[in-house]
Amino acid sequence: MPSNNTLPDIQTEADIKVLVDSFYDRVNADPLLGPVFNEVAQVNWAAHLPRMYDFWSGLLLHTNRYQGQPFAKHIPLPIGSGHFQQWLHLFCRTVDSLFAGPVANEARLRAGSIAHVFESRMRIVNTPLSTR
């Protein structure tokens, strides 16, 4: 693997596609996350991946194609802290293996924020009203 100083930064839609496809290849192979995506959520990858291209393109390249509320789809899933930690670990490993630079750094920061917010919100959603 090349050292980080020889890796390109995330700059184009093609870079976003490589990042997303590589990341979800790791997710699908992961023993913790793969079953959640494929058996529980039964993700339609042909529809999901283009939405993720739009999502990450919006965050990192400032396009405005993504429309949606990503958190809502996570509410019914049996996921917790360990799932979000693993998601973030895989995402950061994917970024680090492919890209280096300010936008790659931004990608890791954004992913960290997403994981933290989703994990916190899931904890609230899964807490019985009587104990809130």
Q: Determine whether the annotation assigns residue 83 to a binding site.
A: no
Cα separation, 18 vs 7, whole angstroms: 13
In the three-class reduction of DSSP (H, G, I as helix; E, B as strand; rest coil), residue 79 is classed as coil
Supply the Cα-derived Rg of the chain in whole angstroms: 15
**Of 81, 117, 74, 100, nearest in space to 19 by CA:** 100
Binding residues for heme: 48
As annotated, the binding site includes: 48
